[in-house]
Chain A
Amino acid sequence: MPKKLLLLATNLLLSAWVMAQFSVSGTVTGSGEPLIGVSVLVVGTGSGTVTDIDGKYRITVEPGQDSLEFSYLGYQTQRIAIGSAREIDVVMTEASAVLQEVVVVGYGIQKKSDLTGAVSVVSTEELVDIPTQSLGQALQGKVSGLQIIPTSGTPGADAIFRIRGVGTLNNADPLFVVDGMILNDISFLNPRDVASVSVLKDASATAIYGARGANGVIIVTTKQGSGAGQITVSAYTGYQQVVKTIDLLNATQYATLINEADVNEGRQPRYANPEQFGTGTNWQDEIFRTAPIQNVQVGFSGGNEKSSFNLSANYFRQEGIIVGSEFDRFTTRINTTRAVKDWLQIGSNLSLVLSTSQNVNAGGILLDAYRADPITVPRDSLGNFGNTAIRGNTGNPLATIEFNDNKSQDYRAVGNVFAQAQLWKGLSFRTSFGLDFVYFRSRSFSPVFEVSANQRNEESDLNVLNTYRRNWLWENTLNYNQEFGRHRVDGVVGITSQDNFGEFLSGGRTRLIGEDPSFFYLNSGDPLTSTNGSGPSGGDWGLVSYLGRVNYSFDERYLLTVSGRVDGSSRFGENFRYGFFPSVGLGWNVSQEDFWNDGGIVSRLKLRASWGQTGNDRIPEYAYTPSVTSGVNTVFGPNEILLPGATVTSLANPDLRWEETTQTDLGVELGLFENKLLLEADVYRKVTDGVLFNAPIPDYIGAGASIRNIAAVLNRGLDMQLTWRQRGRAFSYSLGGNLSLVKNEVLQLDGSMADFFSGGLGIGGQLGTNSRAGFTAGSFWGYEIDGVFQNQEELTQFPTLGTQRPGDLRFRDQNGDGVITAAGDRVVLGSAIPDAILGLNGSLEVAGFDLSFDFTGQFGNEVINAKKMARFGAYNYETSFLDRWTGEGTSNTEPRITLAGQNIETLSTRFIEDGSYIRLRNLSLGYTLPESIASRLRLRSCRLYVSGTNLWTSQEYSGYNPEIFNGLVFDAGIDRGGIYPIAKTVNFGLDLQF
């Protein structure tokens, strides 16, 4: 049977070949030179070839096949009818004539030249060389106006995104849209599945996302299949190390300084002979390690007019640079489309992800490593953990790692199905239903152990947590697209609704019958000790929206975009449930005008302007009504029965309303030297009114703060992107830079508030930031140091803060009233918001080699080194304490040494450090095998590369990393010492295409 079939097939093929097969050949050139490796495809078939070293090709064509498609990276794809020609020479046009570039925008796509909004696009090629599982981290330094902050080096950690400064004081994350599915995070995405990322910055671009557009929108499009069937295999492996460590005292220095502190504070010095301790333990060396990182990916893709598919599987594994931490992730993706009828197209995008983390308590470990005395050994000769509680009152960080077994798994499915029908001339209808489902489970086990009285566990215990969250989105849109002579109109109207809900189920027991992971189930614990809980988690909210947009263009010269969205959000009370968010954008393609001299240096010029309003509803649910907390129990009676109690623990605000951002943007797009040099620049002004924030309130109120509409904030700035690209036969190169300047200012505070304090330093309720009207949001707020009191006379000569002694810090009397008071003498000491964020990148391709680099940096931001201020024991000191005052004239900057007290606990310029840095984010060198060799290996292409991430950093900051951000602006830049440091990585990779 198979034999027969084979015979039949061969016969058919042969007869067809004999009858009409013919071949077409020619040369492909671009920029005046032959192009090598241009893909030539017979349209409608899977057959194709590539051009050789002289740009020549020859391809066999069957009858009925009427056109060829020529495509080449960086050039516009061309389709040419074959007709009767047997020789077809093609001149390729560079795609950097961005006029034709298509950009994915909200609810549609537009030609770059038609855009009136500020949208930046990053394509996949720019992202893949950075070894990370996080798309966010791969985007750092790529886009002007987009600040990426690698929150931590925790394996598997995602990055924080900030578009055009910090518009809100609240959650300022942008909105994420992946293949049309609206999400709050993209941590599940495999960067290698991504085709392009659009960063929507101004209101003209984001207003169509209404209530969620104020912080910008990131639209991610994943790869779809096209052309001949293709297999890609790629892999890399590498090693990571901590970028820098903190300079701390060695054992001898430590004992010397503690002795001195003892004397200064009226005690007997506690260490007889400091030298006896030598250098002692470097705790940072103990907790950090060189850790491997690996990634393997296999992909299959292909497609034609009727259907397309792209299927990929990926495995990523990363051990953390802190001993004991680990992350791995399996990702699969299936994207398909199919034209069922000539008027109906259907498709789906689906990603399934399983990730597993071995978690460590990085905050505790890092703080202990920072604080632990260097005299104590990590482990004694018997293998017991050193008791660091005795000298310094800290835990032993190695014991924390050892006696913690915390593992979590994240199962996630994100996908959508859609159908699109052509209804009328230019009119189509699209419906799309998407689902994001997360199932998370974690278990944390602690065995019985005792290192010291405050680092021990008397009974083994196990805690488990299961949560799920589901989020569905149903979107229905009518699209219209028509040209009338020189007028072109397209538009979209739609209705969408979205619903998010989740729940957790947790339990715990102690006294497990075994300490092996096979016993890590609640049933292994003592039922008498059982605790459990369940409740809503991960957000209980819904949105209903009505959206619309019209684009009008006249003769490709004059452009107008009007868009708007009405959003209803369940997070607001009845009276403020709906908000309306409009925008308008104008564009003028000056270089399309008749008067434009096409031969000039300036090959392209476009001017843009936009205005619009967007909102932010990212606040907790039910914030408009006060919840009653139960479980506030008490004991009564001779049998000591636990009786239920319930009370309110947080205030509520029935008057919550939308936070509203009004943004104006002016942009220019410039092409010079035949568009080899491209410049895009935007200036913008963003005013956010009614900023929603859970501002701290005094403790004497007795309950937690509620969300309030608290302030108006202004962000204004400049985004600029510059690219020079030169392609040639021998070599191609590009150089690019992007620059974002931003100024943030609090315009006013609501009600009678004069000061807006926040940013707890963890020291007796002390707050580190103040966001007064006129200040940058989250300005550091404290005393300026004038010097150190050198002697008793100076103590009478200058005002003091409370009781002070010689050797203490001399605070500046700002208002000159002769006394130092918190009310009158604290000033702005800096802020975490950088003045400028810079990205610099370049690439060079020559003779099969490619070299690329990326620098990223930020300037003009400061850090509060708060970990240095929080001393609740005889902790180790940073080496800066060695320069202490020890008598008149010894130091006028560093005070006398003390264990704690005012010199240390009080926020002053002493603890403010410059947070500027510049970092070689990525450097990679690759080699692509020549076509001739690759084809002999039956490969379409083969590239080998080596790349390094974070290889070089220049920073003033003494801590691990000056990028300190936990998501809230007035809590930003406060280094409390618990942030998992970032790593530098070197890796080797291989990309194959079959």
Chain B
Amino acid sequence: MKIRILAAAVAILLATFSCTEVLDRTPQGVYTLDNFFQTEDQAVQSVNAIYNQLRRWETHVFSYIGMTDIVSDDSEKGSFPSDGFFLQEVEDFEHTASNVAPSTVWAGYYDGVFRANLAIANLPEVPEMNENLRARLLAEARFLRAYYYFSLVRWFGDIPLILEPFPANFEIPRTAAAEVYAQIEADFQAAADVLPEKSAYPAADLGRATKGAALAMLARVALTRQEFQAAADYATAVIESDEYGLLTNYSQNFRRAGENGRESIFEVQATALEIGGAGSQYNEVQGVRGEPNLGWGFNRPSDNLIQAFEPGDPRREATILYVGEVLPDGSAIVEDNPNIVGERYNQKAFVEEHPGGNGNGPGNIRLFRYADLLLIAAEALNEIGQSAQALTYLNQVRARARGTNNRILPDVTTTDRDQLRNAIWHERRVELALEQQRWFDLVRTGRAATVMQALGKNFVPGKHELFPIPQGEIDLSQGALTQNPGY
């Protein structure tokens, strides 16, 4: 009897021995790198995820606007005085290494870099897929990596240049900006070599990086590097591709109907689905604050910007939304907000009513317009002595702005290099106002100190051209990162 119980006990003990299957677990409901990158679909998804980062808060929304427009002479912070105070610090050049804005974009753009590196490292390993698609996806990933690095290097100068997803150690020092630019150019070039033209993509792929976008980016990089011949060549290649043109109506560029239009070279895709998940807050943060309530009211066009427009330039009206003005879609009149003094808004960021609330903005974020490219071409050609061709491109932009009203915006005729340069810079400012190009233009042309100091800003030359490396990043790098001068 007892023997039997003993036997049963031993049997149970042995049975528990075999219970080791409770140790065998596989991740539930997710792929791991062990079983991902196995199919063509997964390859596409890995690249889609790099585009996803473009639409996020960290990348192209609040801090981004602060570090492109608000920091420049184009605009002020906007909203209530104390709302988004860290952007006020940016506007006033009071920002420290603990400011939220630089640390936000830093993290956002490096997330994009990581996703691109992951795809670039793994796409070649996908066992079976269409080789053309593989090449195209790799080129898209390299385009996007270059895009992220291009913003980072302009904001922060020397930065860690990371080209693989899983670096062996995390203490990565800064790479000289020149080397970063070399990599950016190599990536854009590799993309330009492989990517189809905008018209050659299937319609369903509208919005992906194109050959034209890569060449246009190369032109912008070259101009930033003051490599004028190269800038002129790249820009000319894009112009001659005949893929792009100016829309007849300037303001059409910023309406939903103008998205991915003939003038669009590259833009971040967004839409307002009922369930959300496809929009961005780009529109909301710049939307009218008050009645009608469209957003937060940041990025207030500055007096200085208003004065920059030539008399009668219709682009001023297309750029700035005033109190008492009818909204571009005619739906309402902007009412005075008693809590904000002198409010005005970025009309280019306006979107009509859409599902999912203001935060679910459907507006694509325009990163590169053909007009921008024409002005890059004009600027570069002027610098290499081809002022006639420069004038042609400059005047194309003015002519479109002028429309049928011949009393305004006469053609520029000067062929004096300095005068023409100034005319082109002026044209860039008003044509691209509040499109997040101004700050980079001021810095690349060496005018940031003069322009900002003239406005009474506390701009310290040699310091404020660059943003501080976030202190947390220096700490976590174990001191491998150094701080920018003056911070």
Interface of A toward B, CB cutoff 8 Å: 265-267, 270, 343, 387, 389-393, 421, 423-424, 429, 431, 450, 453-454, 456-459, 474, 476, 478, 495-499, 510, 526, 528-531, 534-536, 540-544, 568-570, 577, 621-622, 625-638, 640-648, 651-652, 696-703, 751-755, 757, 760, 763-767, 770, 802-803, 821-823, 871-875, 899-902, 905-906
Contacts and interface: CB of A to CB of B under 8 A. Distances in A.
By size class, the interface of chain B is 35 or more
B29 A823 contact: no
B113 A640 contact: no
Contacts of A569: 23
Contact of B28 (A535, A568, A577, A632): A535
A321 B478 CA distance: 44
Nearest to A497: B19
Interface in B37-54: 42, 44-52
A36 B99 CA distance: 72
A544 B22 contact: yes
23 contacts: A267-B81, A450-B293, A458-B358, A496-B16, A526-B274, A543-B23, A627-B27, A628-B33, A630-B30, A634-B52, A640-B278, A642-B278, A644-B48, A646-B42, A697-B476, A698-B473, A700-B172, A702-B114, A765-B100, A766-B471, A872-B84, A873-B80, A874-B82
A478 B5 CA distance: 12
Nearest to A450: B293
Contacts of A625: 27, 32-34
B69 to A, nearest CB: 19
A822 B9 contact: no
Interface centre among B23, B88, B100, B205 (most CB of A within 10 A): B23
Among B5, B89, B458, B476, find the residue whose CB has the most chain A CB atoms closer than 10 A: B476
B103 A699 contact: yes
Contacts of B290: 453
10 cross-chain pairs, A with B, having the tightest CB-CB distances, nearest first = A702-B114, A542-B22, A645-B48, A874-B82, A647-B49, A765-B472, A645-B49, A640-B271, A873-B82, A765-B103
A271 B355 CA distance: 40
A700 B481 CA distance: 11
Interface string B470-483: 11111111110101
Given A645-B47, A765-B470, A767-B476, 8 more contacts: A529-B355, A635-B269, A635-B278, A646-B49, A764-B96, A764-B470, A766-B471, A802-B486
B110 A424 contact: no
A751 B99 contact: no
B291 to A, nearest CB: 11
Interface stretch (B163-171, B322-330, B368-376, B441-449): B163-171
B85 A900 contact: yes
Contacts of B486: 802
Interface of B: 2, 5-6, 9, 12-13, 16-17, 19-25, 27-34, 36, 42, 44-52, 55, 80-86, 88-89, 92, 94, 96-103, 106-107, 110-115, 117-119, 159-160, 162, 165-167, 169-172, 203-208, 260, 269-271, 273-278, 289-290, 293, 295-297, 339, 355-358, 362, 458, 460, 470-479, 481, 483, 486-487
A385 to B, nearest CB: 15
Nearest to A429: B9
A285 to B, nearest CB: 23
Contact of A637 (B160, B167, B204, B293): B204
Contacts of A754: 478-479
Contacts of B160: 698, 700
B476 A696 contact: yes
Contacts of A424: 2, 6
A765 B82 contact: no
B487 to A, nearest CB: 6
A570 B96 contact: no
A497 to B, nearest CB: 4
Contact of B106 (A391, A637, A700): A700
Nearest to A872: B85
Contacts of A431: 9, 12
Contacts, number: 336
Nearest to B297: A453
A700 B296 CA distance: 30
B82 A899 contact: yes
A634 B28 contact: no
Contacts of A763: 98, 100
A646 B47 CA distance: 8
A634 B33 contact: no
A390 B277 contact: no
A757 B476 contact: yes
B96 A902 contact: yes
A700 B67 CA distance: 19
A911 to B, nearest CB: 13
A753 B475 CA distance: 11
Contacts of A767: 472, 475-476
Contacts of B94: 265, 901
Contact of B82 (A391, A476, A499, A641): A391
Nearest to A905: B98
Contacts of B479: 754-755, 823
A622 B32 contact: yes
B114 A823 contact: no
Contacts of B362: 640
A633 B52 contact: yes
A238 B251 CA distance: 67
Contacts of B475: 755, 757, 767, 770, 822
Contact of B169 (A495, A544, A752): A752
Nearest to A751: B169
A755 B206 CA distance: 47
B322 to A, nearest CB: 19
Contact of B208 (A630, A636, A823): A636
A536 B27 CA distance: 9
Contacts of A648: 33, 114, 118, 165
Contacts of B112: 702
Contact of A628 (B36, B206, B297): B36
Nearest to A640: B271
B27 to A, nearest CB: 4
A754 B477 CA distance: 10
A582 to B, nearest CB: 21
Contacts of B358: 458
A627 B31 contact: yes
A757 B20 CA distance: 39
Contacts of B115: 647, 702
B86 A764 contact: yes
Nearest to B458: A803
B23 A568 contact: yes
Contacts of A757: 472, 475-476
Contacts of B170: 697-698, 701
Given A627-B31, A803-B460, A874-B81, A703 B114 contact: yes
A750 B29 CA distance: 33
B411 to A, nearest CB: 36
A542 to B, nearest CB: 3
B207 A636 contact: yes
B51 A645 contact: yes
A609 to B, nearest CB: 33
A873 B84 CA distance: 7
Contacts of A577: 23
Nearest to B16: A495
Contacts of A696: 476
A390 B16 contact: no
B12 A476 contact: yes
Contacts of B260: 638
A372 B466 CA distance: 34
Residue of B31, B275, B362 most packed against chain A (CB within 10 A): B275
Given A393-B80, A751-B169, A765 B98 contact: yes
B118 A647 contact: yes
Contacts of A540: 25, 28
Nearest to B279: A635
Nearest to B472: A765
B80 A389 contact: yes
